[in-house]
Amino acid sequence: MIIATAGHVDHGKTSLVKQLTGVDTDTLEEEQRRGLSINLGFAYHYTEDNICLGFIDVPGHARFINTMISGVRGIDLGMLVVAADDGVMPQTREHLAVLRLLGVDNFLIVITKTDLVEPGRVGTVEEQVTDLLLSSGITEAPCMQVSNYSTEGIPDLRNLLEQGARKIVAEAGVGVFRMSVDRAFNLKGTGLVVTGTITSGRVTVGDTLHWTPSGNAVKIRGLHVQDRPAESAFTGDRCAINLSGGMELASIHRGDWLQGEGAVPSTTRCDARVELLADASCSLRHLSPVSVNIDARQVRAKLYLLELDQEKASRTINAGDQKLAQLIFDEPVLLSAAQRFLIRDDSQQYTLGGGVVLDPYAPRWGKVRTQRRQYLKAMARGTLPAMLEAWLFDEKQCIESGHLGASWNIQPQELDTLLVEPSFSERVERINHRELEYLVSAETWLSIVEGVRQNLEKWQRENPASPGLDRREFKQKLCRDFAPELLEPALEHLATKGDIDVSGGLLSISGHRVTMPPEYQEDWGRVLQELQRCGIRIPLLSELCAATQVQPAQMVGIMRQAMLTGDIHRISEKRFALRESLSSLAAAFLSLAEGDEEVSVVAYRDRLGAGRNFAIEVLEYFDKVGFTLRRDNARVVRDAGAAIKLFGLQR
């Protein structure tokens, strides 16, 4: 169990930790000389059954609040220390606010210096602290009374903490390993050592880690967990890591991160839910500069408010308010969904509030779209299963697995484990497309697939003379209500099933046959009759117009539409032929070319009993479609399959 002491300066936090553990966390000479903590202090106490109590002794002085913030991560219990003679003081309130903003829900009140006051004073201070906790939404918090001088109450406090530690269930090493570095030093005979609290994953001696932001690879030579040598460490463990790999102490900064394999990139934007304290010293306007504390890192940012104040028609967040906002950082940071942070004023003098990360990879554009706000509300559910329930099933949207894993810092196998649970296994479809995987509810996926098919079918009924619809136009005009990421997978799914045809960039319902528009049908009947009468003696377009009494402009429209149906093929600028006529012409050529014989223009002309120019037109067309191949003044069969496919040639 990790316990954070919190409270005003000189209220006895460090002395209390020393009484409980025997460790003086004032390790710096200046701290010991001045009698107050400047740096974070860590101390550990092991019970007889080897359960560890880890204490983070945070500095109480207002000047060192930033140091205090850097250590408050992975806390199981907030131990609010209040001196009986002073009672509740400014840093008592600020430390409590910091712990609450960073998600600490369990608290213990410890009233110190009870030997310096009358008994009635202790009861008064207890009431003060209880009221303070109630104002922060904490209804239950045991209260212990101790004297660091006489040690009265210390054994009872230790027993209470040990009982609480036995109830703590150790966190599994979920996610990619990640640790924010709060201290780094060289140890003689050992080398470079960094310390921090593991925020996710697990790590083992011998593992290779990646330094962020530099990207350098380092290797673990040794581990200490809760002040003892160890082979492995897990989420929530306080550890010291001995590293090798060429990192110099001078290049390491407080707030740098170590990541395991599968490391994700840093970000300069995150969408978040931001809350200002009820007693915040000021409001924050849209694009206000702020200082943000994330893990052990302190970074400047601009606060882009995503919600409009309807009364004032301006974007402002006031004391006690919660709003959606985008933090735009001055430098890259490493974040994950549900991560807590604090906001201080730009001069870093006052804690104004804090918040929780919703999307660590926020978009630059489209920040205030309705769908975007719905996504953030789903992310605000606080856990990955709850977010998926809201986004996939309530909002009926989809999400890409890679983005999901990076946002929540989970590994692919961990997502697999989640999705085979009964609450998801039968309800979620995993759609793969172009090396990406999308998650969508089975109901939504079926709705999209059926909607795509019905929309195409409806368009085809309304446009029977068209061979198909351009896929880009189809998606833009007819499928605007569907998740765009799933349209291509839906089309592929329908094509695989044989429900639709995809050819030449056009989409059509399988089995659809283009029909002649009503305005052409009467003239087309006469044209078709004349072409059938002519057989293989295909007339020129002008001859066809004269024979059918169809005007040239009308004839061009008829031929264009007949080509779409596949009934007519254009063999030259002025000649169009029926499919069956071309089949007969191809059969005539094959009869001359038996045994791979070359066929001359003269031989083919004589076989047709037609003019030379007509024979040349037909042969050049056969060359163009890949049926024949020209050799000097003769032709050979190039691919009889082309004629079979185009003209229905029977062999």
Is residue 420 a part of any domain in this protein? yes
H or E stretch including 644? helix 640-647
Total tally of structural domains belonging to the chain: 5
Least confident piece of the model among 75-89, 132-146, 373-387, 469-483: 469-483
**Same domain flag for 252 and 285:** no
User: d(Cα 84, Cα 86) in Å, to the nearest integer?
Assistant: 6
What's the per-residue H, E or C state across 143-208?
Answer: EEECCCCCCCCHHHHHHHHHHHHHHCCCCCCCCCCEEEEEEEEEECCCEEEEEEEEEECEEECCCE
Q: What is the CATH number of the domain that holds 93?
A: 3.40.50.300
Cβ neighbours around 542 below 10 Å, total: 11
Tell me, yes or no, whether 216 lies in a domain: yes
Q: Are 541 and 533 contacting, i.e. CB atoms less than 8 angstroms apart? A: no
Return the pLDDT at 650: 67
Residue 409's pLDDT band (cuts 50, 70, 90):
very high
pLDDT for position 400? 95
Contacts of 338 (CB under 8 A, 6+ apart): 356, 357, 382, 383, 408
Whether 372 is covered by a domain: the verdict is no
Query: Chain-centre distance of CA 401, in angstroms?
Result: 7
In the predicted structure, residue 188 carries a pLDDT above the cut 90: no
Q: Is the pLDDT of residue 281 over 90?
A: no
Q: Does 398 reside within a domain?
A: yes
User: Strand, coil or helix: what is 503?
Assistant: strand
Q: CB atoms < 10 A from the CB of 368, how many?
A: 14
Q: Report yes or no on 62 lying in a domain.
A: yes
Look at 251-255, 378-382, 409-413, 645-649 and tell me which has the smallest mean pLDDT: 645-649
Closest CA to 438 of 498, 478, 489, 472: 489
Q: Confidence class of residue 31 from pLDDT cuts 50, 70 and 90?
A: very low
Q: Are strands 208-212 and 217-225 parallel, antiparallel or unpaired?
A: antiparallel
284 and 406 housed in the same domain: no
If asked whether residues 225 and 307 sit together in one domain, one would say: no
Residues 250 and 279 in one domain: no
Quote the pLDDT of residue 119.
81
What tens digit of pLDDT does each residue of 108-155 get? 999 999 989 888 899 999 999 999 999 888 988 999 999 988 889 999
The predicted model gives 325-341 an average pLDDT of: 93
CATH number at residue 284: 2.40.30
Element (H, E) at 603: helix 601-608
Residue 591 reports pLDDT greater than 80: yes
Q: Is there a domain that residue 269 lies in? A: no
Do residues 154 and 97 share a domain?
A: yes
Give the SS3 label for residue 528: helix
pLDDT of res. 111: 93
391 and 460 within one domain: yes
Same domain, 15 and 161: yes
Residue 270 resides in a domain: no
Looking at the fold, whether 547 and 639 belong to one and the same domain comes out as yes
- Tell me, yes or no, whether 625 and 604 share the same domain: yes
DSSP 3-state of 510 = coil
| pLDDT above 90 for 212 | no
Output the average pLDDT for the chain. 86
pLDDT tens digit string along 12-29?
888 888 888 887 654 434
What is the domain range of residue 280? 275-291+298-362
Share of the chain above pLDDT 70, in %: 92
User: Are residues 391 and 347 both part of a single domain?
Assistant: no
Identify which has the larger pLDDT, 82 or 524.
Answer: 82
From 167, 190, 206, give the residue that closes a domain.
167
Residues 150, 6 within the same domain: yes
Which of 51-55, 436-440, 633-637 has the highest mean predicted lDDT (pLDDT)?
436-440
Given 116, 147, 167, which residue is the final one in a domain?
167
Domain of 538, CATH number, reads 1.10.10.10
We report the CATH number of the domain holding residue 191 as: 2.40.30.10
Residue at a domain's end among 331, 362, 393: 362
- Residue for token pair 């995150």: 270
pLDDT class of 309 with cuts at 50, 70, 90: low
Long-range contacts: 245-253, Cβ < 8 Å, 24+? 245/216, 245/217, 245/218, 245/219, 246/216, 246/218, 247/192, 247/211, 247/214, 247/216, 247/218, 249/184, 249/185, 249/186, 249/192, 251/214, 252/181, 252/184, 252/194
Other beta carbons within 10 angstroms of residue 613's beta carbon come to 11
Q: Is residue 482 part of a domain?
A: yes
Q: Are residues 582 and 467 in the same domain?
A: no
Cα angle for residues 99, 105, 109 (degrees, 5° grid): 75
Q: pLDDT tens-digit profile of 66-98?
A: 555 555 556 788 899 999 998 999 888 888 888
Cβ neighbors of 351 (< 8 A, separation 6 or more) are 65, 94, 97, 98, 101, 277, 342, 343, 344
pLDDT at 60 over 70: no
